[in-house]
Amino acid sequence: MQHITLVGLGIMGNGMGHNLLKAGYPLTVYNRTQAKTEGLVSAGATSAATPRVAAQNADVVISIVANDEASRAVWLGADGVLAGVRPNTLLIESSTLSPAWIRELAGLAEAKQCRLIDAPVGGSKPQAEGGQLTFFVGGERADLDHVAAILDVLGQRTNYLGPIGSGATMKLVNNLMGGVQVAALGEALALAEQAGLNVQQVADLLSNGAPGSPIVKTKAPGIVAHDYPTNFALRWMHKDLSYALAEGERHHLSLTTVAAARNLYQQGIERGLADEDFAAVAETVRTAEQ
């Protein structure tokens, strides 16, 4: 079987790693905080001290980290993945990143005689643990076919979008929709609350009516209860909306709704909610209304 290196063991990477081991893949892992490797090492993975060492024997390298800065840190430099990979290694960047950095990384991979696909994921902790992620893929179709069996272990659906960077763009489109909807849900429930309506009843009506998208149904109960167990942190939604705005500017689009939503998430960060689930953006509206 292909030897896989997995870089990044946060909420998503940890679940992905366990599923790869259950499927029998030889797995080497790297995480900046080494303590986070212990569970996977106990399950059969090998831990490496640097991304470079982790990548040396890999047939496939998967990275899933927080942002462009973290991605650059694991791929580049004397201890980065690209310093250790062998020619013809297939590289998968599954983080939610800017399309500009993905295109730059693809060029750097080509210089190392490696191939890259961008394959960010849809879903959160439960989907990562259950092997039920959705992949949005950009790159060469032949490269996707080469790792299709691996992605099938990790996810329930793989969507091929087109050339390199297409997956990253689709992920930003996906997340901006989610971020805007949850910000609007927070405002809707704040208005209902201030107007004296039964907020639970309002949430039920919204969830089961025309506005009841899957994300509204998922996030409404936590907003009503002021309870935000973190599946996707507010700080990362702010980051994704920022990347979406930058991509919009590249295409000469003014994404005014996204900009307004990002402002609410920025307020959430300023109020100490950065590590709460992104549904906690509702608290910024509630506070503002009171």
Digit-coded pLDDT (tens) for 139-175: 999 999 999 999 999 999 999 999 999 999 999 999 9
**Residues lower than pLDDT 50 in the chain:** 289-290
Selection from 28, 77, 68, 70 nearest residue 49 by Cα: 28
Q: Which residues of 229-255 are buried (b: 16+ CB within 10 A; e: fewer)?
A: ebbbbbbbbbbbbbbbbebbeeeeeeb
Instruction: Measure the CA–CA gap between 12 and 72, rounded to whole angstroms.
Output: 19
Q: What's the pLDDT score for residue 188? A: 98
pLDDT of residue 289: 46
Taken in order of first residue, the domains within the chain and their CATH numbers are: 4-163 (3.40.50.720), 170-289 (1.10.1040.10)
Q: What pTM was estimated for this model as a whole?
A: 0.95
Q: How distant, in Å, are the alpha carbons of 32, 160, 253, 265 from that of 106?
A: 23, 17, 25, 31
Q: Are strands 133-138 and 121-122 parallel, antiparallel or unpaired?
A: antiparallel
Distance, CA of 5 to CA of 61 (rounded, Å):
5
pLDDT value of residue 288: 59
Q: What is the pLDDT of residue 286?
A: 84
Location of structure tokens 């902790």: 125
Residue 182 and residue 278 in contact, taking contact as beta carbons nearer than 8 Å? yes
Q: Report which residue type is found at 261.
A: A
Task: Give the Cβ contact number of residue 20 at 10 Å.
Answer: 26
